[in-house]
């Protein structure tokens, strides 16, 4: 069984190669920032740092991974992503298992994003953010974006939840496939065969293999 490494995140890397006017910086936890501004800040923060550093521009995967961890993760809630992707098995997992699942799944997502950025770092596309039209009291929203590369156009959606620390990205949709849905089916199959420990082992082995291959 091959886990989907790049399906949900390769497009995210592509949209990071943006050709837009930089908005005023939005920091993680800015309670005044709109969801679309936060998405823009998360994406442009990563690519801006990569473009400014010769090591990351040359494709150094370790350096790019470090940028993703520092510049992108603060805008996300991958703890929630993990909980929803693992599904009902999360409730029966021990606190230690939950921590391992979160750490390993986040590592998978970060590395997939970094690999995608390394592959696509020299592409130049335009990224358009659609304003969110929803009630000010909403706690869960979807930010729609358009990625334009020459004559090609792709829609990427980001789902965010309002938290005590501001809006946080926790799911991404590409061509109708939400990241959480993609992994939930795979994780459920593994848990059904091998239990939660089997899923932890699978993710750990997968991450170790990816690290040794690069």
Residue 213, in any domain of the structure: no
Q: Residue 126: which H helix or E strand, with range?
A: strand 126-129
pLDDT beyond 50 at 65: yes
Residue 4, in any domain of the structure: no
Provide the pLDDT for residue 22.
45
pLDDT beyond 60 at 106: yes
Provide the pLDDT for residue 10.
45
| Largest Cα–Cα separation, the chain | 50
DSSP assignment string, 128-154: EEPPP-S-TT-SEEEEEEEEEETTEEE
Question: Percent helix, strand and coil across the chain, each rounded to 5?
Answer: 55, 20, 25
Q: How many CB atoms lie within 10 A of CB 131?
A: 11
CATH assignment at residue 64: 3.10.450.710
Residue 211, in any domain of the structure: no
Which has the closest alpha carbon to 36: 129, 146, 125, 99? Answer: 129
Q: How far apart are the two ends of the chain, measured CA to CA in Å?
A: 21
Domain that holds residue 47: 10-203
Domain count for the chain: 1
Provide the pLDDT for residue 16.
41
Q: What percent of the chain has pLDDT over 90?
A: 49
Provide the pLDDT for residue 2.
52
pLDDT in tens, 24-50: 467 776 767 889 999 988 887 887 788
User: SS3 of 116, please?
Assistant: helix
User: Taking all residues of the chain, what is their mean pLDDT, rounded to a whole number?
Assistant: 84
Distance CA 23, CA 120 (A): 23
Residue 108, in any domain of the structure: yes
The radius of gyration of the chain's CA atoms, rounded to the nearest angstrom, is: 17
pLDDT beyond 80 at 202: yes
Residue 1, in any domain of the structure: no
pLDDT beyond 60 at 9: no
pLDDT in tens, 143-171: 998 877 777 787 889 999 999 989 999 99
Distance CA 71, CA 147 (A): 21
Which has the closest alpha carbon to 172: 158, 188, 193, 186? Answer: 158
Provide the pLDDT for residue 23.
43
Q: For residue 36, give Cα distances in angstroms to 32, 156, 199, 207.
A: 12, 12, 34, 31
Q: 178 and 9 in contact (C-beta within 8 Å)?
A: no
Residue 169, in any domain of the structure: yes
User: pLDDT-based confidence at 119, cuts 50/70/90?
Assistant: low
pLDDT in tens, 180-200: 999 999 999 999 999 999 999
Residue 139, in any domain of the structure: yes
Residue 24, in any domain of the structure: yes
User: pLDDT-based confidence at 105, cuts 50/70/90?
Assistant: very high
């Amino acid at each position: 069984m091959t886990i989907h490494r790049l399906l949900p995140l390769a497009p995210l890397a592509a949209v990071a190669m943006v050709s837009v006017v930089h908005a005023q910086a939005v920091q993680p936890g800015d309670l005044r920032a709109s969801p679309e501004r936060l998405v823009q800040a998360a994406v442009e923060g990563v690519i801006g740092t990569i473009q400014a550093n010769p090591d990351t521009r040359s494709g150094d995967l370790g350096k790019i991974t470090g940028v993703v961890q520092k510049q992108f993760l603060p805008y996300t809630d991958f703890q929630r992503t993990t909980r929803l992707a693992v599904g009902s098995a999360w409730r029966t997992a021990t606190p230690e298992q939950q921590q391992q699942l979160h750490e390993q799944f986040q590592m998978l997502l970060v590395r997939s994003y970094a690999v995608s950025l390394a592959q696509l770092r020299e592409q130049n596309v335009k990224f358009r953010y659609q304003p969110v039209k929803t009630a000010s009291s909403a706690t869960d929203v979807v930010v729609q974006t358009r990625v334009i590369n020459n004559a090609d156009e792709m829609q990427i959606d980001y789902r965010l939840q309002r938290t005590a620390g501001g809006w946080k990205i926790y799911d991404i949709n590409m061509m109708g496939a939400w990241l959480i849905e993609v992994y939930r089916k795979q994780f459920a199959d593994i848990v059904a065969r091998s239990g939660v420990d089997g899923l932890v082992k699978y993710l750990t082995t997968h991450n170790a293999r990816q690290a040794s291959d690069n």
